[in-house]
Amino acid sequence: MSHRPSSPIGVFDSGIGGLTVAHAIHQQLPNEQIIYFGDTAHLPYGDKSEAAIQAYSIKIVDLLLEKGCKVIVIACNSASSAAYELLKEYVGRQAHIINVIDPMVELVASTLAGKKVGLIGTKRTVQSGIYARKIKEINPKQDIYSLATPLLAPMIEEGFFNSQISHEIIANYLSDQLLNSIDALILACTHYPLIHKEINDFYKNKIITLDSASVVTKKLSSYLSEQNLMNAPAKPVHHFMVSDFTESFEASTRIFFGHEVKLEWYPLWKQDL
């Protein structure tokens, strides 16, 4: 399928975290229209089986293809890990797919050789070992010190960041011996850009912190440029859909996206009605 530069960019996540990726795209590529899908009926993906995540992802991708998306960004570490290879095969040439893991892996492997690199993420992401495995494939001598930080995503979802509570929880995790003397830290969860500044403050800006939202946006920008798919100057109207609607979720989207967002309810299956 041939796409026009004016075709939209699809972004999906199990819920709200991927809005940090959508917001980074909106800021860096202001002419691009975004169609966002948050699978709120099935969140969090972190405790779902691989088969379930793949089933949800295919259903969402079908919708984004129907909307004519030229690129689909999997703005979720769990879905990137469980479904990317399957989706790439499933979608074929209908659209280009970018996940949140590979751009970070490429960046770390090419720029941080010989440095002590830490990683924080959800239990599923850390237990999967996907970052460490992929980075070692490129640079066998590079070790990654991965720490599960399960309280951070729910803390952010509840609006606790830039507060005394968040400072203490972040400090508690980052003081773990595993992360002693690191030179760089990978923020391996799409919620974490919202606490990027707090993490930098903890380290007094003395280490490199990498969040997937900015890294993925650079990858997307390069792809659009190489393929001559950058949209002409425009004022696009973004479209946001969720599989289960709650007022609290709509209120939270402002925090994640940076300004008011109107959500459309779009159940993936009839039983979700």
Integer Cα distance of 192 and 39 in angstroms: 19
Contact 214, 23 (CB under 8 A): no
Contact 118, 185 (CB under 8 A): yes
Residue 209 CB coordination number (10 Å): 21
Integer Cα distance of 207 and 150 in angstroms: 22
Contact 58, 269 (CB under 8 A): no
Helix (H/G/I), strand (E/B), else coil: 98? strand
User: In terms of Cα–Cα distance, which of 86, 77, 95, 31 is closest to 213?
Assistant: 77
Could you give the residue numbers annotated as active site? 76, 189
Amino acid letter, residue 14: S
